């Protein structure tokens, strides 16, 4: 993969992906909200071996800017071999349950912004008849839980969207990977108590890049989450609704 676009590039998982790609001398274009942090990351990635690193600011909820910012990335990279979408936000579920505005804000960040970006990237890559899109969703999208269903519904929407997009882009030689991490130790989860099922952002980055290389469809990251989620999905609703999840 030579030319790589990373959206949500200041996330811990995205930074681990970028570092691994830099070590393979990729050319990177980074999009995230905080340009000062992107400038620091650029220096680090160049030292690690990136062929070139460019960046631009993007708040993903500013949908009207998506087209222009992707054009800027394309002008700089020439073409995109791999696009990684990694931004996200863990909502205050209790607030979202009571106030639709709060839920809408989370759907905009975690689902609709991604779908807008996927529409543009899908059009570009299908016209070029080449490329790969990897999106970080979540195991939370596999089943709605009382403590987390706005986040889960947003991630689940993206996963369903990716299934259809994958089929649409397949005849055009474009591959789509849905990366579903379990618990990852990042700033997003800094307030949560950690346990044996937790992974590092580097482990998730490895799973993502391996999934891209092997042209996998759905990557549970790490892989043991595939089994855990198969069990979780198999629990009947009559029992599931009684569980303190």
Ligand X SMILES: NC(=O)c1ccc[n+]([C@@H]2O[C@H](COP(=O)([O-])OP(=O)(O)OC[C@H]3O[C@@H](n4cnc5c(N)ncnc54)[C@H](OP(=O)(O)O)[C@@H]3O)[C@@H](O)[C@H]2O)c1
From the CB of 126, what's the least distance to ligand X, in Å?
A: 24
Binding mask 12-51 for ligand X (x = CB under 6 A): xx------------------xxx-----------------
Identify whether the C-beta of residue 30 lies closer than 8 Å to the C-beta of residue 41: yes
Q: Is residue 109 a contact residue for ligand X (CB under 6 A)?
A: yes
State which residue, 126 or 205, has the beta carbon closest to ligand X.
205
From the CB of 201, what's the least distance to ligand X, in Å?
A: 6
Pairing of strands 218-221, 174-181: parallel
What tokens appear for 238 in the block?
Answer: 């009559």
Identify whether the C-beta of residue 180 lies closer than 8 Å to the C-beta of residue 142: yes
Q: Is residue 136 a contact residue for ligand X (CB under 6 A)?
A: yes
**Which helix (H) or strand (E) segment is 165 a member of?**
helix 149-169
Distance CA 143, CA 243 (A): 13
Q: Is residue 189 a contact residue for ligand X (CB under 6 A)?
A: yes
Distance CA 138, CA 131 (A): 23
- Binding residue (CB under 6 A) for ligand X from 3, 93, 106, 138: 138
Binding site for ligand X (CB under 6 A): 8, 10-13, 32-34, 59-61, 86-89, 109, 136, 138, 181, 183-184, 186-189, 201
């Amino acid at each position: 993969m030579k030319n790589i676009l990373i959206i949500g590039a200041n996330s811990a998982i995205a930074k681990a992906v970028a570092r691994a790609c830099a070590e393979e001398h990729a050319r990177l274009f980074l999009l995230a909200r905080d340009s000062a942090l992107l400038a620091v990351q650029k220096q680090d990635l160049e030292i690690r071996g990136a062929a070139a690193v460019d960046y631009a600011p993007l708040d993903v909820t500013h949908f009207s800017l998506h087209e222009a910012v992707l054009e800027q990335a394309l002008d700089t990279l020439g073409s995109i071999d791999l696009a990684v979408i990694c931004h996200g936000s863990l909502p205050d579920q209790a607030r979202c349950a009571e106030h639709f505005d709060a839920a809408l804000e989370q759907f905009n960040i975690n689902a609709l912004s991604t779908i807008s970006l996927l529409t543009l990237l899908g059009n570009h890559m299908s016209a070029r008849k080449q490329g790969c899109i990897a999106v970080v969703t979540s195991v939370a999208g596999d089943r709605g839980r009382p403590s987390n269903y706005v986040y889960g519904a947003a991630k689940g929407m993206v996963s369903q969207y990716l299934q259809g997009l994958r089929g649409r882009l397949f005849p055009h030689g474009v591959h789509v990977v849905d990366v579903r991490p379990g618990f990852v130790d990042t700033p997003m989860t800094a307030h949560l108590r950690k346990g044996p099922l937790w992974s590092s952002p580097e482990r998730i980055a490895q799973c993502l890049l391996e999934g891209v290389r092997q042209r996998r469809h759905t990557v549970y990251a790490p892989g043991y989450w595939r089994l855990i989620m198969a069990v979780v999905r198999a629990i009947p609703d009559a029992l599931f609704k009684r569980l303190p999840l």
